Structure 1
Amino acid sequence: MNKIHSTPDLNRHSKLKAFDRLLTIMDELRENCPWDKKQTLESLRHLTIEETYELSDAILEGDLNEIKKEIGDIMLHLVFYARIASEKKAFDVADVLNSICDKLIARHPHIYGDVIANDEQTVKANWEKLKLKQGNKSVLEGVPTSLPALVKAIRIQDKARGVGFDWEKKEQVWEKVEEEMQEFKKEFNTETSETINKEKAMAEFGDLLFSLVNYARFIDIDPEEALERTNKKFIKRFQFLETESAKDGKKLGEMTLAEMDVYWERAKSL
């Protein structure tokens, strides 16, 4: 058994007290507030998704105070789900917490057992093998079907890599990107006006995106975060274009592309 060294948490009592306070308030709201009394697992679902995206935005903005608020909102939702489940005699928050604790211990034999894992990749590989031993039929089974496609591609590739199905060098991955680009160009020739086979072109474009996600993983770039940063950059520059052109008495729908490009170049210099 590995010897575990943990730093004493001097604030543990205050943390437990705060969590107990949240549980108490949740109970009071569920029993007394007309809105909270009405909620179900299904009605909270879309709100939880929204809160998760708000947390994601706060993380990308690097706003720690906003991150704290959004974590609180999500924590409330998790406690809410557990409270509703307890009313159904299914489980309560203690069952939830003990379940994840048991799972973490079982999936970290390099900490709580005799397995040796000195790097991140070994830990991930062991994790996937353990899940297969515990009944999962596929290493991809844990990838939610409703994930956005870009995020899903990242998770699929991570899981495949965890069991050794991966390229050895980033140069090989880039060769695949270039190969997929050429295949896409064959289906969508930008130099002619010929009608393309949309289904085939879409399939090739999907392959190209998947290979780019793979390359991003090899150079330690999160493609979802990279694209979102570009989205935010575009929004900022476009809104500058809208604001500054309006100050000059111009309307977007009536401007030429060259006129708009003047404001765009100014936005890029900010």
Structure 2
Amino acid sequence: MSAVMSTVREQNLYLDPSIRDWVLVPITAIMVLVGILRHYVTVLMTGSPQKQPKVAVREQRGLGRAQLLRQSAPLSPLHPEQYHALSSSTAQSLAAGEYLKPEVETDGPQNPFDPGNMDSMMDGLKKQAVMMVPNMLIMQYINVFFSGYILIKLPFPLTLGFKSLFARDIAMPDLDVRWVSALSWYFLNLFGLNGVFKLILGQENSATDARDSNAMAMLSGAGGPPTVGPAAPDFKKLYKAEVENLAISDGLYTWVGDGVEDRVLRRWGKL
């Protein structure tokens, strides 16, 4: 019992307020400012996005119209005859591949260094460089100046599985898992500031893209070449799945005008 009480007393650490003022708050402010700077540097380096050809836009918009039609099925403003006719014609067009852009026939395997793909590959490499270099510098800065610092104690209990995440640079196995070190606070900001950047910079910003995957790779020590961008979607498979979804939505269709007379009379107390 005395051993347990001594362990509990040892966990009541008193932190110097200077740690909060000169370590905790500055690290958070630096992470926010670096994310904003990263966004604008990426915009300047990559420039304006390239315009897509009409066939590619038509391919995407065809799928988008089918999705909007399916999503409106539970309470659709379209008359039943109009809805079912539009759903049937849209499903037939998707099944026939009318909106698909023509495939380019190539002799042999595709060249990964095709000049047509070099611009997108360079944009992806620039984004990776802009995101990795600041993260490496900040992490090295924290390792040199604030290694072993305890910054904050979380107000809620956690399991021991979080020990490796919250106390990475503190060699104290008996320390309560709720105490957070400086390096761990950096990683928590790295993962947790996505919502802040979306509020400041908008939903589509360059401060969050691929940032979590890079940080997770550094945490786990995983190697491998950086990715240069997301893979192109297979619209044939998407069209096939959307045809099945449209068939299912036909059974869920409800016209918004069903029983409107009774609803109006009931609202005004006439029923």
* TM over 0.5, shorter chain: no
Task: Using structure 2 for the length normalisation, give the TM-score.
Answer: 0.31
**Considering only CA atoms, is the larger Rg found in Structure 1 or Structure 2?**
2
The answer to which structure has the higher helix fraction is 1
Q: For CA contacts below 8 A with separation 6 or more, give which structure has more relative contact order.
A: 2
